[in-house]
Chain A
Amino acid sequence: MTEPIESRETMLRDVNAKPRSTVVWAAALVLAALPLVISVPLATDILIWGIFGMGFNLLLGYTGVLSFGHAAYFGLGAYASGLAMRYWGAGIWAAIAAGVAAPMLLACFIGALAIRRRGVYFAMISLAFGQMLFFLALSPLKHITRGEDGLTHIPLAEVFSLPLHKPVPIYYFIFAITTVMLYMTWRILESPFGRLLRAFRENEERAKACGYNTTLVKFFTLVLSALYGGLAGALNMLYLNYVPLTTLFWLTSGTIVMMTILGGKGTFLGPLVGAAVFLFLQNTISLWTPRWELFVGAIFVAIILAFPGGIMGTIRTIVNNRKTARLQKRAPAVPSEG
């Protein structure tokens, strides 16, 4: 054996390599160039749903909690920011802040009430809350939310004298925020909390036996994912200059589940890839048939059968298998010390 001091240092280096943010900047580069390849509105949708998905993925992909009412956070973010701009003349940053804060408060409430419920029970409770919000906006609060018509007459927004109602400026505005969120997500996943989430994804029971308060972890993650959902909703409001009632509809909740699973739950880029593939298919197929849901559904089934872990999840499995094969090949050369 080599002298222990030196080998200890190399050991620490190989098990605990300094994490590199390359993946964040590479993804940002691709997103920056996206409007050159596909239409700007489609690219904008991908960013908004990508942010929504990143937050949803933290919850579903890591803690395994299925929220089937995530439209509540998305829609509430959109309405809160839209109402703030329309009725209180809030500036764009204040509106975004309102669009983030309101869903986080809602998540605190739902979480305190229901996060201990497992699996399908939590999914049902979250769905019920989502539908409650939908019907609230539809009729009792109609005089504020404009009910079925959706929230209109939101003043046009400007940032640093960029007109945000034009497609390209709003795209790059949302792109900047997406990059920040990508970086934030990456930092979180590399932090002790993020490492815990990864462990949680692998085995919740073991994490609990290690002394982690798993209920608290789920609660925090729910609130964190509401932050992303609310932000995505607020950006959607800025982009459309309008809040359609459908942002609160259960179909929105279903779509984010599909996108996340399609891209690969529990992977860093999965939600973004899932949103991109889903929206691209929807966009392309709806050009030649109004029954696009049928085809997107069929393709969804086909992809999930071919890639059980979602697109990025399957890629990760392949990479991991290669790595394992390499390590196993090398193993006999290093005699294990008895």
Chain B
Amino acid sequence: MLLRTEGICKHFGGLRAVDGVDFTLKEGQLKSIIGPNGAGKTTLFNLIAGVYRPTAGKVFFRDRDITRLSLHQTSRLGITKTYQITQIFPGLTVFENVRIAAQSRVSAFNFWRSTHSFAPLNERALEILRQVELLEKRNWLASTLSHGERRYLEIGIALATEPQVLLLDEPTAGMSVAETAMCAGLIRRLNRELRLSIVLVEHDMSVVMGISEEILVLNEGRVLAEGTPREVSDNREVQRVYLGEEKYA
């Protein structure tokens, strides 16, 4: 098992945001987490990535207990997350956004050598920009990109840290229908071609049903159902809490 949580809980005061969730991810798997707003999806991400310390329960990565590691430490192990609200470096060029992420795997505390001389990093950054289709705009400031392009750039930043698990938090949020379809294609490619293990939090049901191998449904901090897209969409409980609501959304 690549990634596993064991009865993980996070309480904010009286609110049980995540309440005893067992989550598993196999090597190479693409798994989605769905659920109504406030179901605890993002909180679960933050618990895995080390943004929050759980109230109870444990997180394991390749059978190593990573419960008490913080965000930069889980990133170094190969667990990288993207954010629901785009997090990029707006005042840097698109290229530098990705290069700085790639640099994190090599040398942070080098005060003297010019970055010009770290050739493999530069090559790698270009390769990633090609994958997320931002090569043409490499010299643009990230702040001048469109919303969809920024989401792509954030995925590029995440890829540059050479992740083994990618946690994508609503990557298609705010994208047009066409952009969403392209983004779903990109995520599928990352999973199939680069053999990246991916956990996806997503609201767009067409994306979730189209590309996930397995789906975990959360409701009020607890696991409601788990299974293949077909099993989940056939589940009565899920239809009641989630899918029904989605129809008139």
Contacts and interface: CB of A to CB of B under 8 A. Distances in A.
A48 interface: no
A337 B130 CA distance: 10
A60 to B, nearest CB: 16
A195 B80 contact: no
B107 A8 contact: no
B108 A212 contact: yes
Contacts of A191: 110-115
B81 A220 contact: no
A290 interface: no
Given A15-B93, A18-B116, A206 B88 contact: yes
A192 B88 CA distance: 18
Q: Interface range on chain A: under 10, 10 to 19, 20 to 34, or 35 or more?
A: 35 or more
Nearest to B97: A199
Nearest to A198: B92
Contacts of A17: 116
Contact of A193 (B91, B99, B110, B140): B110
A208 interface: yes
Contacts of B135: 11, 337
A334 interface: yes
Interface in A171-226: 187-188, 190-196, 198-199, 201-203, 205-214, 216-217, 220
Nearest to B109: A193
Interface string A103-119: 00000000000000000
Interface stretch (B33-41, B71-79, B219-227, B229-237): B71-79
A199 B110 contact: no
Contacts of A327: 137, 139-140, 144
Interface in B134-167: 135-141, 144, 157, 160-161
Given A192-B108, A205-B87, A320-B141, A199 B92 contact: yes
B116 A19 contact: yes
A305 interface: no
Interface stretch (B2-10, B58-66, B118-126, B207-215): B118-126
B138 A11 contact: yes
B98 to A, nearest CB: 10
Nearest to B86: A206
A191 B103 CA distance: 11
B199 to A, nearest CB: 15
Interface in A39-59: none
Given A193-B110, A206-B157, A212-B104, A337 B92 contact: no
Contacts of B113: 191-192
B112 A187 contact: yes
Nearest to B93: A15
A213 B139 contact: no
Contacts of A190: 114-116
Interface size class of B (residues with CB under 8 A): 35 or more
B87 A192 contact: no
Contacts of A337: 133, 135-136
A14 interface: yes
B89 A213 contact: no
A17 B80 CA distance: 29
Nearest to B163: A211
Contact of A192 (B93, B107, B123, B125): B107
A211 B105 CA distance: 8
Nearest to B125: A15
B106 interface: yes
Contacts of B137: 327, 331
A289 interface: no
Contacts of B123: 12
Contacts of B160: 210
B103 A196 contact: yes
Contacts of B108: 192-193, 196, 212-213, 217
Interface in A269-299: none
B190 interface: no
A336 interface: yes
B96 interface: yes
B91 A201 contact: yes
A328 to B, nearest CB: 7
B75 A211 contact: yes
Nearest to B49: A209
B116 A324 contact: no
Q: Return the 6 tightest CB-CB contacts between A and B, nearest first.
A: A211-B75, A202-B89, A15-B95, A211-B104, A206-B87, A199-B100
Interface of B: 49, 71-72, 75-76, 80-81, 83, 87-93, 95-97, 99-101, 103-116, 118-119, 122-123, 125-126, 133, 135-141, 144, 157, 160-161
12 contacts: A15-B126, A19-B114, A192-B107, A192-B115, A195-B100, A198-B100, A205-B83, A209-B72, A209-B81, A323-B141, A337-B136, A338-B133
Given A192-B113, A210-B80, A210-B101, 14 more contacts: A15-B122, A17-B116, A192-B106, A192-B115, A203-B88, A203-B90, A209-B49, A210-B75, A210-B104, A211-B72, A211-B76, A211-B161, A323-B141, A338-B133
